[in-house]
Amino acid sequence: MTDDGSTLINLHDMEEAARERLPPMIFGYYASGAHDEITLRENRACYERIALRPRVLTDVSQRDLSTTVLGARVPVPILIAPMAFQRLAHADGELATARAAARGGWGMVLSTLSTTPVEQVRAATSATLWFQLYVFRDREMTRTLVERVESAGCSALVLTVDTPILGRRERDVRNHFHLPADVSIAHTMPGDMQRLPVLEDDSGLAAHAHRMLDPSLTWRDIEWLGSFTRLPILLKGILRADDARLAVEAGAAGIIVSNHGGRQLDTAVATIRALPEIAQAVAGRAEILIDGGVRRGTDIIKAIALGARAVLLGRPVLWGLALEGEKGVTRVMEMLRDELDLAMALCGCRSIEELSADLIATY
Ligand SMILES: Cc1cc2nc3c(=O)[nH]c(=O)nc-3n(C[C@H](O)[C@H](O)[C@H](O)COP(=O)(O)O)c2cc1C
C-alpha cells in the first residue's frame, strides 16, 4: 500500500503511480523512447509473444535464484541498469538506489551521468558495483574518469557503444528537458559541463551529449581503453552476431544486448529477438546480459533460456525511487524477484542452471 492507500502489486502499477507523482518533464525523460517509440514497445511486445513450455512433477519445493556475473555471486540474475540523473526522481538519487542494492545484495551499474559521485555510491553499497562509461571527446578527461572509478573500487566498466550521438527523444524536445538548478552531473568538469543548457527548440541533454561524447569511436578504442584499465570491460548496446564476435575478439569480458531501452535508434530490433544469434556467436567466450522491456518474472526466464546470464532492469527502478526512495527501489526489485521465483516453480525449475532453451516454444 502507498500513502494514498492504493495497492501497487506489479511494475506496471509502479509506473502509473510514478506518472502521477513526477512532473511531466521528468516523467517524460524517464519514460520516453526515440521518435515513434516503436522499439520501446517492441521490447515488451516480443517478450509477450514468446510462449513457455513448463515442465511438471519436478519437486520445486526448494528453489535457488542465485547465480554469478563475471564471477561475483548475486542473489538473483537481475542487476540495476545504468540510468542518468537519479536525483530527478528523489533527493537521495543514486545513493538511495545504492542503499537498496546493498540491502538486497543486488548488482548495480552507475551511469557516467550520475548526479552523485562514484565514491559516495561505492561507500553506500558493498554489493557488486560496475561503472557505465561514455567516452568523451576529451580523451584525457575520459582516462582520468576511468582511473577515478578504478580507485573508487568499481569492479567492471560497462562501455556504452550505441550512443555516438544521442537518439532523438521527442518528448524531451517538446519539454525543453534540462536539469533543475539544484541537480548537476557529478563526473564531468565543474562549470557548464555539469549542467544542461535550457533550449527553446531542443532537449538540453541532446545538446550536452553532442558537445561531450566522441562519435568517432571504433573497435580500436576498446584496445585503447584496455591499455590503461585492468577492469573487465563489457560492451553495452550490441544487437548483432558479427558485432558480438568483434567484441569477443577485442577482449570484452561481457556483452550487454541492449537498444538503450528504445531511446537510441527507433525501429532497432527488440533485444530478446537479437539475443539468440548473439548467444550462438559468442558460444560461451564472454558473458551475455540483456536489458530492455523486462517487466515480469517470466521475461527473465525467457532471457536466460535464450542465452543470457542475467538481465538489467531500467525504468522500473526509477519508478520505485520516485515513489519511495530506497524503499521503493527495494520494492520493485523484490516484486520482480518474487515473480521470477514463482515463474521458476511453475516452469518446474529449481535453479537458474535449469533454465534451458527447451522451455521456449518454437512454433
Ligand atoms: C532515464 C534513463 C536514463 C538512462 N541513462 C543511461 C546512461 O546514462 N547510460 C547508459 O548506458 N544507458 C542509460 N539508459 C539505458 C538503460 O541503461 C537501459 O539500457 C534501459 O533503460 C533498459 O530498458 P528498460 O528501461 O526498458 O528496462 C537510460 C535509460 C533511462 C530510462
Q: Which of 1-10, 67-76, 115-124, 232-241 has the lowest mean pLDDT?
A: 1-10
Pocket probe mutation, ligand 1, options 263, 311, 312, 329, max atoms within 8 Å of Cβ: 263
Domains and CATH numbers, the chain: 11-359 (3.20.20.70)
**Ligand 1 atom closest to Cα of residue 109:** 17
3-state helix, strand, coil in the chain (%, to 5): 45, 15, 40
Percentage of residues of the chain with pLDDT beyond 90:
90
**Interval between CA 208 and ligand 1 midpoint (Å):** 17
Stretch 109-132: mean pLDDT, rounded? 98
User: Using an 8 Å Cβ cutoff, are 74 and 128 in contact?
Assistant: yes
pLDDT at 188: 78
**Interval between CA 303 and ligand 1 midpoint (Å):** 18
Active site residues: 260
Handedness of CA 43, 48, 52, 54 (dihedral sign): positive
pLDDT at 357: 98
Count of beta carbons in the 10 Å neighbourhood of residue 141: 16
Distance CA 171, CA 32 (A): 7
User: Using an 8 Å Cβ cutoff, are 258 and 221 in contact?
Assistant: no
Q: In Å, what is the CA distance from 237 to each residue of 78, 93, 224? A: 17, 25, 19
Q: pLDDT of 209-267, one tens digit each?
A: 888 999 999 999 999 999 999 999 999 999 999 999 999 999 999 999 999 999 999 99
Q: Give the residues across from 52 on adjacent strands.
A: 360
Stretch 100-111: mean pLDDT, rounded? 98
What are the E-state strand segments in the chain? 67-69, 72-74, 78-80, 108-110, 129-133, 157-160, 233-238, 254-257, 287-291, 310-313
Distance CA 288, CA 255 (A): 5
Stretch 145-158: mean pLDDT, rounded? 98
Query: Ligand 1 pocket by C-beta < 6 Å: which residues?
Result: 29-30, 43, 81-84, 111, 113, 132, 160, 236, 258, 260-261, 263, 291-294, 313-315
Q: In Å, what is the CA distance from 42 to each residue of 175, 234, 274, 347, 362? A: 24, 24, 12, 25, 19
